[in-house]
Amino acid sequence: MTLIEQMTQLARQAREASRELARLTPDRKNRCLLAMADALEANEDQLRLGNAIDLDWGAKTGLSAPMLDRLKLDEKRIAGMARGLREVAALPDPVGRLLEERVRPNGLRLRKVTVPIGVVAIIYESRPNVTADAAGLCFKSGNATILRGGKEALNSNQLIATILVNAAARALPEFPRHAIQVVPTADREAIPALLSLTQYVDLCMPRGGEGLIRAVAECSKVPVIKHYKGVCHVFVDREADLGMAGDIVMNAKCQRPAVCNAMETLLVDRPVAAAFLPALARRMAEKNVEFRADVEAHSILSAAPEAAGFKLRKAAEQDFFTEYNDYVVNIRVVDGLRQAVDHIARYGSAHSDAIVTRNEATAQQFLSEVDSAAVYWNVSTRFTDGGEFGMGAEIGISTDKIGARGPMGLEELTSYKWLGIGQGQLRS
């Protein structure tokens, strides 16, 4: 069987499974999810043994220590996968939700209701726990999943999927076994082959670094929902409460710098720059943050009494496009809201951007004019997250304009259809 035949078979099976999945009641889906969670815990030894094969091979082929750490399945991570599945089981079912209802003058009743998307391909990197997390969210939302993790985790991912499928099939005889499938080859060409099958695959969600996501978006014929990177901004307006602003900026940058909703660039309104920046820099210097400052911010910071203790350099233009995911921050002094909004439109990634101000009109203008997935007023950018948004769980974050935008939970894994209920209406 050629690669494309193999992928076609996989995708066709997923499509068939998705039709059966769409018929399962919420109770039956939840019964499967709970059985899956139990089975992961019951098979911990088997999982660790299977994972050890990947770890050995990874060590032999020279994977870095952090890569090996990400690849590892230990008791805590296995328990984490099981807990995730139980949490998903406890969430409301997102399918069949009435979004809108209208009765036309001719008596035709139109109901817009949520339906599963169908077949979802998830392309991700080394963490095998994504296999269970993504499969659980897709299953609960009635979607068949085709999972493709890192090649270094293939054995672990296949084992997890087998445990999930076997557990669900034992719990529910009509469970469609092809609802959860792992691409059974590490061949890199499997991805473009799979993502050419628009007749069977409805959506692709890549998760990982910008390189992976760009490669997937470039080759896919299937719709892709994604975010490339998170170049997030906080704008400290001239009418900001500077105490609040300092706390928000510290939180947005330093609470967890490695994530996509962390701040990369601080924009400070000129009238408050001299009052705000030195004190903030002192707090950030304690966290060993490096500053990449524009000319004006650089001049303010280098004039500060503590300047000798700052890791301070001049920002290059490219820095403002960069997601550091690290203790590095760009700082730019801007001349009011308009310049801040223009900066964000030019350099940002439409992920999460915040304004700190006491002035409601200024805030409303920022909220209206910044076109990002999440726009905040007097809040840290770090809140862009399915859990923080009350979605219960999250499969990813989208900065796209077609389909879901922002954190994606169960509802964001659905589409909709229109039901038209009549009494013999004819078009004239």
Binding residues vs a copy of itself (CB under 8 A)? 19, 22-23, 96, 102, 104, 108, 110, 115, 117-118, 198, 202-203, 217-218, 221, 223, 225, 241, 244, 247-248, 251, 255-256, 345, 354, 363, 367-369, 371-380, 382-384, 388-390, 400-403, 405-406, 415-428
Minimum separation from the CB atom of position 425 to a copy of itself (A): 5
Closest alpha carbon to 145 in 156, 160, 155: 160
Q: Using CA atoms, how far apart are residues 39 and 54, in angstroms rounded to an integer?
A: 21
Q: For tokens 């061949």, what's the residue?
A: 187
What residue type is 48 in one-letter code? R
Cα distance between residue 258 and residue 260, in whole Å: 7
* CA 391 to the chain's CA centroid: 12
Find the shortest distance in angstroms from Cβ 145 to a copy of itself.
15
Q: Which is nearer to a copy of itself, 118 or 136 (by Cβ)? A: 118
Q: What is the crossing angle of helices 44-60 and 26-42, to 10°?
A: 70
Closest CB to a copy of itself among residues 146, 203:
203
Q: What is the largest CA-CA distance in the chain?
A: 82
C-alpha 206/C-alpha 69 separation (Å) is: 21
Cβ proximity to a copy of itself: between 104 and 177 the closer is 104
Contact 320, 332 (CB under 8 A): yes
Shortest Å, Cβ 221 to a copy of itself? 7
User: How many CB atoms lie under 10 A from the CB of residue 18?
Assistant: 24
Question: For a copy of itself, which is the closer residue by CB, 9 or 364?
Answer: 364
Minimal distance, residue 75 CB to a copy of itself, in Å: 26
Nearer Cβ to a copy of itself (139/376): 376
* Min separation Cβ 243 and a copy of itself, Å: 9
* Dist CA 161 CA 200 (whole Å): 20
- Which residue's CB is nearer to a copy of itself, number 325 or number 378? 378
Place of tokens 């470039």: 218
Q: How far is the CB of 368 from a copy of itself (least distance, A)?
A: 8
